[in-house]
Every structure is written in C-alpha cells, then in structure tokens.
Amino acid sequence: MSTGQQQRTLSDAALRLAEERSRPTVLELRKVGCAYEKGRPAIADMSFSVREGEILCLLGPSGCGKTTTLRAIAGFEPVSAGAIYLAGRLVSSPDTLVPTEQRHVGMVFQEYALFPHLRVIENVAFGLQHLPADQRKAQVRTMLDMVGLTELERRYPHELSGGQQQRVALARALVQKPVVLLLDEPFSSLDPDMTGKMREDLRDLLMHTKTTAVLVTHDHEEAFAMADRIAVLNNGCLEQFDTPEAIYHTPATPFVADFVGQADFIPGLVENGTVMTEIGEFPNQVGYQEGTKVVVMIRPDDVHIEPSDHCTARILARQFRGSENLYTIGLPSGHVVHSSESSTSVYPVGTPVELQVIATHTVLFEQDHPRKPKG
Ligand code: ADP
Ligand code: MG
C-alpha cells in the first residue's frame, strides 16, 4: 500500500469513527440497580449507553448479572435504583415501569421460544397482526429472504435445526423493527462448529438492517468478534465499558485482564520513577508513588523467547495451538509468564531462554488489587 493510500485509509477510519460517535444514543442505563426479593442486589450502579446501530456485548462469568440487566432493559424486572432510557424516554426507575409491549424491544433468548404449532412464516408474521395483510406478507417475505429461510417457510419449528430455529427467532424479532434487539447467549445451544459462521451471519444481518443490539455472552472471543463496544460485568458491577481493543490491551482491572485472555501478573516495585521487575524495567505510566508495590500485566503476545544457555528462565511447558505455540516460562522467583511463538518455533521443555518483552504499553495494578471475582 502506498503512503497516500495508507493516509486515505486512516482518514476514512477516522471519519467513520467520528460518524459513529455522532450517532444518537438509543439506550442508556444510569446507575441501575436490580434486586430479587430483598436480598443483595443482582446488579448495582450499572451505567452504560448504546448508540444507534451499535452492537454492545455484555460480557462476564455466569451469575454476574447479564440476564438480569437484559431483563431490566426489556421491562421484565423492575429496577430498585437508577433509570433506564430507551430512545430518550424514561422507561424504568424505582417509580416507573413502562410495560414490555410499549418498549419496542426485540428479544432472542437462549431457547428461542418459537411457537411450536405455527409454521416458520406464521412465527415470523406473529408480531405484525396490526398491519394490512399485503403489507404484512411483503415484510415477512423480505425478512425470510434476508435470513435465508424462504425455502423452509412451511416447516414447523421441530422440523428445523438449532441454527435454523435461531434464524426464525431473529427474523421474528427483526421484522418488527425494534428500537433495540436484545440477545441472551444466542449461540449457546448451537453446535460449537457452527457458531463461527452464525456469528458472522448475525453481525452482517445486524449491520445490514442497521439494528442496535445488546448481546449477552460469557465468551470473550464471541464478544471480540461481535461487539463495537463491550461492557464487562463482575459480581453485579460494571468493571469496564470500552472497545474490544481497549478491553484487551488496557484492561481497567485485574479481573478484566484475566477474563478476556491469558494474563500474567509480575510483581514490581516503583523505584527511581520506573517499575523494577524480575523481567526488566517498565515505565511508571500511572504515576505510582516511590516504593509502591505493583504488578505488571503481561500478555503472551508481548513476550518473545530466544533459547540462551546463560539464562535462568526455563521452558516449563509447550502447548501447540495450531497457529501458535504457547510456552509457559518459569522465572527464578517461581513466577511464570507465557509466550506466544509461531507454530514452527518448537523448543523442548527445560530449555533456558532469554525473555524479550515488547509490550506497546504497560498495564500496572497495585499489588493488593483483587484479581479474581469477589464473593
Ligand atoms: P448471568 O446471566 O450473568 O449468568 P443472572 O443475571 O441470571 O446472571 O443472575 C445474577 C444474580 O441474580 C445471580 O446471583 C443469580 O443467582 C440471581 N438471580 C437470577 N435470577 C433470579 C431470580 N429469579 N430470583 C432470585 N435471584 C436470581
Ligand atoms: Mg444469563
């Protein structure tokens, strides 16, 4: 690519970003809390917003409050604190609960919930009873065509595969042109070998129909592949709300760092303005005070190894992953780091290696920061 082309591509990307950022907010949660019965809140102080046409992923481990957040947006759960706005309208607060049918949200849940006694075409047409028959037919046909179900329109749900049932559920939700589409773990009941293709198809469909969507998942790879922005939840609280790249490269907490990929935490000490560790010096980017005990977060893609007889770090294990080799390296202190090498770089266990850390940025946390989910 020539320099001119590169500059054009960069300015195109900047323009696209500016355009995306100027889009109106469709959904906003402000300090939302939700409690089942009178116990501990299932979610607390939850704030994020979704712009028109954006795909937001709610990501976190089982039980962290993803489904509860989605149910609060849909109006199935009242909120005990804060407020939810849909298309600028207050729909939930401790004193407000606009009913689900007035919120114009679309929903695709784990089990699809299709009507078993209705054919595909009738399932999709179900929410359009208010339209004249010819308009209804035209819209349903367009939608079936878009999701590739035209040939199956006379079938009943039990005559379809899991993937096809999911497309019916999607078509049924999308045909109503929802303000926002809510998807709860939409790939969890599909065969794992189908999910890659289904993710791509779903993303294309959402982009094509300019649908704003909130998608729940516990799988960071799915969130990375699907999302424009990700909200990472832990124990009912929002830990970080940002782009997939920022969530991966500059995690806001040790929990996020750990949850979205392999992360090692190497202890360090702030001395003479830099962070001294067993594997070298790092810049004190956050500006911690002299003497602060910190940990440096390292990803395997930041660490390169070279066999070297004079070194004290050693290969403890190698995991062949097809496109890469993931090495576990033992340091003299007993700490370990991981290194991602090309799939053809094969060294035996026990080899002494020199470490080269080539992180483009340093992620630091204080040593006593909780690393695992609380509770
Ligand atoms: P996730 O979807 O992230 O797995 P949920 O939102 O389903 O998590 O659950 C969040 C918390 O709320 C969990 O501690 C769960 O046990 C609790 N919870 C979920 N549904 C109910 C319910 N109907 N009654 C009481 N507690 C619930
Ligand atoms: Mg759930």
Q: Which residue, judged by its Cα, is nearest atom 13 of ligand 1?
A: 63
User: Are 273 and 283 contacting, i.e. CB atoms less than 8 angstroms apart?
Assistant: no
pLDDT computed for residue 83 by the predictor: 98
Residues 212 and 287 placed together within one structural domain of the fold: no
Q: Closest ligand 1 atom, CA of 184?
A: 2
Asked if the structure places residue 14 within a domain, the reply is no
Residues 224 and 75 placed together within one structural domain of the fold: yes
d(CA 148, CA 145): 5
Residue type, position 230, single letter: I
Asked if the structure places residue 137 within a domain, the reply is yes
pLDDT computed for residue 197 by the predictor: 84
Residues 244 and 267 placed together within one structural domain of the fold: no
Which tens digits make up the pLDDT trace of 338-354?
A: 999 999 999 999 999 99
d(CA 146, CA 248): 33
- CA-nearest of 68, 74, 149 to 114 is 149
Element (H, E) at 72: helix 66-74
For the CA of 109, the nearest ligand: 2
- Residue that finishes a domain, picked among 258, 278, 300: 258
- The domain in which residue 40 lies consists of 25-258
Distance 109 CA to ligand 2 centre (A): 10
Q: Which residue, judged by its Cα, is nearest atom 16 of ligand 1?
A: 63
Asked if the structure places residue 18 within a domain, the reply is no
In 3-state terms the chain splits into helix, strand, coil percentages (rounded to 5) of 30, 35, 40
30 forms beta bridges with: 83
- Residue that finishes a domain, picked among 237, 258, 279: 258
Average pLDDT in the 75-94 region? 97
Chain-centre distance for alpha carbon 33: 21
pLDDT computed for residue 369 by the predictor: 67
The better pLDDT of the pair 158, 40 is held by: 158
Q: Which residue, judged by its Cα, is nearest atom 21 of ligand 1?
A: 36
Residues 115 and 212 placed together within one structural domain of the fold: yes
Distances (CA, A) of 15 to 8, 10, 19, 66, 203: 10, 9, 6, 33, 21
The better pLDDT of the pair 369, 179 is held by: 179
Judge whether residue 111 has pLDDT over 90: no
Pocket test for ligand 1, best of 59, 68, 218 (most atoms within 8 A of CB): 68
Average pLDDT in the 45-74 region? 96
Residues 252 and 324 placed together within one structural domain of the fold: no
pLDDT computed for residue 3 by the predictor: 65
Half-sphere exposure of 237 (CA within 13 A, CB side): 10
Chain-centre distance for alpha carbon 191: 20
- CA-nearest of 183, 179, 218 to 203 is 183
Query: Per residue in 358-370, is it b (16+ CB within 10 Å) or e — as a string?
Result: eeeebbbbeeeee
At which residue do the structure tokens 């020199």 appear?
A: 354
Residues 140 and 188 placed together within one structural domain of the fold: yes
pLDDT computed for residue 374 by the predictor: 36
What is the CATH number for 357?
2.40.50.140
Name the band, by pLDDT with cuts 50, 70 and 90, for residue 20: confident
Q: Which residue, judged by its Cα, is nearest atom 23 of ligand 1?
A: 36
- Ligand 1 surroundings by CB, under 6 angstroms: 36, 42, 60, 62-68
pLDDT computed for residue 141 by the predictor: 93
Residues 68 and 199 placed together within one structural domain of the fold: yes
pTM (two decimals) = 0.89
d(CA 12, CA 79): 41
Asked if the structure places residue 195 within a domain, the reply is yes
Number of domains comprising the chain: 2
pLDDT computed for residue 192 by the predictor: 77
Q: Closest ligand 1 atom, CA of 61?
A: 3
Q: Closest ligand 1 atom, CA of 58?
A: 3
Residues 224 and 309 placed together within one structural domain of the fold: no
Q: Closest ligand 1 atom, CA of 71?
A: 6
Which tens digits make up the pLDDT trace of 249-290?
A: 999 999 999 999 999 999 999 999 999 999 999 999 889 999
Segment among 132-136, 150-154, 307-311, 370-374 with least mean pLDDT? 370-374
Chain-centre distance for alpha carbon 95: 31
Distance 190 CA to ligand 2 centre (A): 16
Residues 250 and 267 placed together within one structural domain of the fold: no
Name the band, by pLDDT with cuts 50, 70 and 90, for residue 122: very high
- Residue that finishes a domain, picked among 207, 242, 258: 258
Average pLDDT in the 146-152 region? 90
Which tens digits make up the pLDDT trace of 175-223?
A: 999 999 999 998 887 777 778 888 898 999 999 999 999 999 999 999 9
Average pLDDT in the 42-54 region? 96
CB atoms within 10 A of CB 220: 20
Distance 63 CA to ligand 2 centre (A): 7
User: Are 315 and 281 contacting, i.e. CB atoms less than 8 angstroms apart?
Assistant: no
Asked if the structure places residue 1 within a domain, the reply is no
Name the band, by pLDDT with cuts 50, 70 and 90, for residue 104: very high
Q: Which residue, judged by its Cα, is nearest atom 17 of ligand 1?
A: 42
Average of per-residue pLDDT values in the chain: 91
Residues 238 and 269 placed together within one structural domain of the fold: no
Residues 147 and 271 placed together within one structural domain of the fold: no
Q: Which residue, judged by its Cα, is nearest atom 24 of ligand 1?
A: 36
269 forms beta bridges with: 276, 293
Distance 195 CA to ligand 1 centre (A): 25
pLDDT computed for residue 370 by the predictor: 58
Which residues have a Cβ under 8 Å from the Cβ of 23 and sit 6 or more positions away?
51, 52, 53, 54
Residues 253 and 276 placed together within one structural domain of the fold: no
Name the band, by pLDDT with cuts 50, 70 and 90, for residue 375: very low
Q: Closest ligand 1 atom, CA of 216?
A: 2
CB atoms within 10 A of CB 59: 29
Average pLDDT in the 224-236 region? 96
At which residue do the structure tokens 């009873």 appear?
A: 129
What is the CATH number for 177?
3.40.50.300
Asked if the structure places residue 56 within a domain, the reply is yes
